[in-house]
Amino acid sequence: MNVNLMFRDRDFKLGVVTLFGKEILSADLELPRIIDTMAGRDDVIKKACETALFTPLTDMAELQYRQAIIADARRNPEAIRALYGIVVDTLSHQTHEFRAFASDAMGKSAAVSMYRSALAFLNSFIGSLMALRQVADKNLNGFESEGMRNLLTMFQREMDDKYFKQVRVSLTELDDAEGETLISAKLGHYLQGVDYVMRKLERGDKRSWRLTSGYEIPEKQIHLLDDLRNRTNRAINGVSNTLSQAAKNLQGFFTSLREELAFYIGCLNIEDALRELGMPMCVPKMNPMDSKKREWRDQYDVSLALTRRTKVVPGVFSDPGAKLYLITGANQGGKTTFLRGIGQAQLMAQCGMVVGAESCEMPLRRGLFTHFRREEDSRMKSGKLDEELTRLARALDFVGPGTTVMFNESFASTNEREGSEILRQITDAFVENGVEVFSVTHLFAYADVYKDDPETRFLRAERLPSGERTFKIVPGEPLRTAFGEDLYNKIFAEKA
């Protein structure tokens, strides 16, 4: 049985991500707060959400498949949480049985012991399988997505009443055989026993068996006991292997189901958190990778909202297509927060989640890369500029057409002329090769180069004549000043 909730035709592998620079992206975009909110205190949800965020979908059909399942989860949260609860409870209660079974399956115990462990393991799952079927029976009509309907229909088809009746009968028969095992064999060369087979005990067999003559092995003849055990192991080995494989498959199915449902529980959790804060959220409209159209209304930094319970600063932007976005303006005016919001929205959208905005439209991207200014580090073995160049160089093998790069105060550690020239050359190389660039900068000489470029859009942190920051990012060409004197006056006025 395949789960296929994350992908239509393949498994979801926890911890396997495709984006380069997971740690850098996580730090620059402040993703841990988002992931922690999705996870609560569940490590599996945390790992599933991390894997999904850092494995963006680049195929529109795959994205729509997952978005439809998330929409189903939003309409049927109780059913999704019920399925997840059944799987979590089952796996947590089977820890002892699974350890015993896994130990036996690795060859550390005889076939009889592995037989008993696998049998106990399978018996413990019957109630859970029935509970999954009951959720499907009760809720199937409320689901519309291909993925969820396939899963719930599979529960009904593969685990109907006839199936459970047959499984219980088979397990009972195997349980009864545990104490008294009927085996058969043939005589081979030199009167050696061959083709040992475990036989099914019919209801009347035990009675007739006990009436036949038997032989009781004396306690002192231990070698005969060992010989009998060996013959029994040889007979039971085939059944033991079959039970073992069934147990492994069942364990694998429940584990996969937990890992894939975990992501959807995480989506429900963050939507609940944002709804409680009164923050807007939307399912973004996604355009093909060759599109450059971007549009948003009231987009915000989700991590900041979750941390500070900050209200959204209204902002509207719409553009049919640009290759370069230059964001300038007053210090502490919200530029970095704006850039983080754009990056978060890109990753969240491409794993199927809602984004933090009233409405949003964006293109698919093959990759997202960030290059944010770092604070001085006494452990650095080279200069700040060298560190920035080295960090960028590591990503160059992965940056290409259909990707987005985000600069935040990059190369400001050197003088304006040198920093501007370095950043200009890098920006030109990226843009000419089909890379979308967002750049927050105070380097006026760098920004001024693009003032007449038709494929560059200028955005600026709004500052009122009084010096007040509104934290809105609005269209506006770069100014020669970042109004650092506003901060100076504010600091010293407060101390006066």
295-327 pLDDT tens trace: 999 999 999 999 988 777 778 899 988 999 999
Task: Quote the mean pLDDT of the chain.
Answer: 86
- Is 255 in the same domain as 289? no
Which SS3 state, helix, strand or coil, does residue 156 take? helix
pLDDT at residue number 309: 81
DSSP summary character for residue 451? T
- Is 295 in the same domain as 271? no
Given pLDDT bands bounded at 50, 70 and 90, which one contains residue 186?
A: confident
What is the distance in angstroms between the CA of the first residue and the CA of the last residue of the chain?
A: 72
One-letter identity of residue 35:
I
Q: What percent of the chain has pLDDT over 90?
A: 58
Q: Say if residue 159's pLDDT is above 70.
A: yes
Nearest to 85 by CA among 23, 128, 136: 128
- Is 388 in the same domain as 270? no
**Is 186 part of any domain?**
no
pLDDT at residue number 380: 56
- Is 144 in the same domain as 284? no
pLDDT at residue number 70: 98
Report the Cα 223 to chain-centroid distance in Å.
56
Q: pTM of the prediction?
A: 0.85
Given pLDDT bands bounded at 50, 70 and 90, which one contains residue 366?
A: very high
DSSP letter string over 58-90? --HHHHHHHHHHHHHHHH-HHHHHHHHHHHHHH
**Strand 193-199 to 182-187 pairing:** antiparallel
400-429 pLDDT tens trace: 999 999 999 999 888 889 999 999 999 999
- Is 336 in the same domain as 317? yes
- Is 267 in the same domain as 361? no
Q: Say if residue 214's pLDDT is above 80.
A: no
Which SS3 state, helix, strand or coil, does residue 405 take? strand
One-letter identity of residue 34:
I
- Is 469 in the same domain as 439? yes
pLDDT at residue number 398: 95
CATH number at 473 reads 3.40.50.300
**Is 45 part of any domain?**
no
pLDDT at residue number 108: 44
- Is 307 in the same domain as 254? no
pLDDT at residue number 116: 75
**Is 368 part of any domain?**
yes
pLDDT at residue number 490: 60
468-485 pLDDT tens trace: 878 889 899 888 765 555
User: Between vectors from CA 385 to CA 380 and to CA 388, what angle results, nearest 5°?
Assistant: 80
> Lowest mean pLDDT: which of 123-137, 306-320, 342-356?
306-320
The segment with the largest mean pLDDT, out of 252-256, 262-266, 457-461, is 262-266
The size of the chain, in residues, is 496
**Is 43 part of any domain?**
no
**Is 228 part of any domain?**
no
**Is 392 part of any domain?**
yes
How far apart, in whole angstroms, are the C-alpha atoms of residue 138 and residue 79? 9
- Is 71 in the same domain as 146? yes
| Residue numbers of the domain that contains 260 | 57-176+248-276
16-62 pLDDT tens trace: 999 999 999 999 999 999 999 999 999 999 999 999 999 999 999 99
> Lowest mean pLDDT: which of 83-92, 97-106, 108-117, 253-262?
97-106
- Is 61 in the same domain as 163? yes
Whether 387 contacts 374, CB under 8 Å: yes
